[in-house]
Amino acid sequence: MSILKPTLIASSLLLSLGAHAADAPKYVFFMIGDGMGTAQRQISEYYLQQQNGDETQRLAINAMPVAGIITTHSANTLVTDSAAAGTALATGVKTDNGVIAMDPEGHKLRSTLDAAKDKGMATGIVTTTRLTHATPATFVAKNISRDNENEIANDYLASNVDFFAGGGYRHFINGEGSKRKDGKNLVDGFKQKGYHTFIGADSSADFLAFHPTNSQKVFASFASSHLPYEIDRKKDLNTPSLAQMTSKAIETLKYDPDGFFMLVEGGRIDHAAHANDVSTVIQDTIAFDQAVKAAVDFYEHHKDETLIIVAGDHETGGMGLGLGENYFVQLDKLKGVDESIEDKLQGVYKGDRKAFMKHIDEHFGLKLLTKEEQQTLNHAMDIDDELRAKNITDFDGYSTHNDATYGGYDPVAIAVAHITSQRAGVYWTSYAHTATQLPLSAVGVGAEKFGNFEDNTQVAKTLATLMNVKIGS
């Protein structure tokens, strides 16, 4: 791909910023790495370079010709959540944490996706989280609380967005496994509206084999909750990757003569960082980058009509590259890791310390622990044993001490996460979000207008100006 070749970046930029710069982009990709800050982008690139033995290799997100910086605070706090940050990026308006595309006074806000749909463009939502999760919801739904996911699902059915792919079918179905209390099956509603529907992991092959020859509508949800972390997905390939879903969205939406607007979210970068899971952060960031490459491939054939924007909504975990007095980040220490902390390691320890040590040797490369590492792990196991003796099995919401130390996760799993991170020279300051500024990158029609130091709300406002549409209140 030419965007990854520095010698061709200038010519690509000139082409996209030339005579067609005054025209609204026909194809818009808004791509958000949830929880993806500077450290997450950089460590993933370093890892890729090391794995491939090529110090010049770049992530697509880091090789775009235009780069900017955005601030992320919400209306009521410096440390935003995804609902407020998503609302700012989608509508250009600040709101309080937890609110979906409404201002602090409760007025509904118009997003860039809403405006694109009203303009006649095809629209799509692709994510690795539940479709009804905060970030994608801000582009389609309007709700006072991000937790009202059944109501958000109702908004999706009413929206007539052309393409949905992600997780969270529990908010759309009725019966076993449903989170709905009203007995409604929204999947039937999508079918009645002419959507091709793909529900559950077993539908993945049919989804990938679907090849539209004209404008079609798709609703695809491959998991009850979030899709698997990439590090886990790669072991059984039971669900599509983010890149595969993005490519299918392009294949489906490209037939609209008015073009398309697509929101693509790498949502589980955030979840991995919440759990201080460095390997899973890297793998999900690279998976997000592969989705960006799918967009770039399309851009290469439609340079005069396409705009790609890549941003984060906030940073998660306070990830730092460098630990203590050590001047080295040693990513080779991560090569033995093949499962996620949150989805796979949590709950593995059940009191058998020998069996657990064998497990982390096999899946995390932790065979010979130092005295300090063993003390860290033993302390966490002692806590786990005590909790198990009290029949406490839910790791979320323990004592204040435990929340501060382990973030509401399984103490033993977090001990492994921290040992693994520290061996690689990575540290974490938080189990939550942080208020740090974020990098933004762009390529295509009007991309140069995003190369500034500005607030996240300005991203949506600039995009709306380029698209010749009105957003916000």
Residue 25 φ/ψ region, left for φ over 0, alpha for ψ in the -120 to 50 degree band, beta for the rest: beta
82 is catalytic: yes
> Has 302 been labeled as part of a binding site?
no
> Has 256 been labeled as part of a binding site?
no
> Has 149 been labeled as part of a binding site?
no
> Has 265 been labeled as part of a binding site?
yes
Interhelix angle for 411-424 vs 353-364, to 10°? 40
Helix, strand, or coil here: 26?
Answer: coil
> Has 133 been labeled as part of a binding site?
yes
> Has 313 been labeled as part of a binding site?
yes
Separation in Å, CA 3 to CA 11, 288, 443: 10, 16, 9
Catalytic residue among 82, 204, 221, 441: 82
Contact criterion met (CB below 8 Å) for 186 and 154? yes
Interhelix angle for 82-91 vs 456-467, to 10°? 30
Both tokens of 65, joined, read 């010709």
> Has 171 been labeled as part of a binding site?
no
Both tokens of 308, joined, read 């790609």
> Has 23 been labeled as part of a binding site?
no
Both tokens of 218, joined, read 């798709």
> Has 373 been labeled as part of a binding site?
no
**Within 10 Å of residue 213's Cβ, how many Cβ atoms?**
6
**Within 10 Å of residue 148's Cβ, how many Cβ atoms?**
17
What's the Rg (C-alpha) of the chain?
22
Query: Hey, which residues are catalytic here?
Result: 82
Binding residues for Mg(2+), by number, are 34, 133, 135, 265
Binding residues, by number, are 34, 133, 135, 265, 270, 274, 313-314, 433
Binding residues for Zn(2+), by number, are 34, 270, 274, 313-314, 433
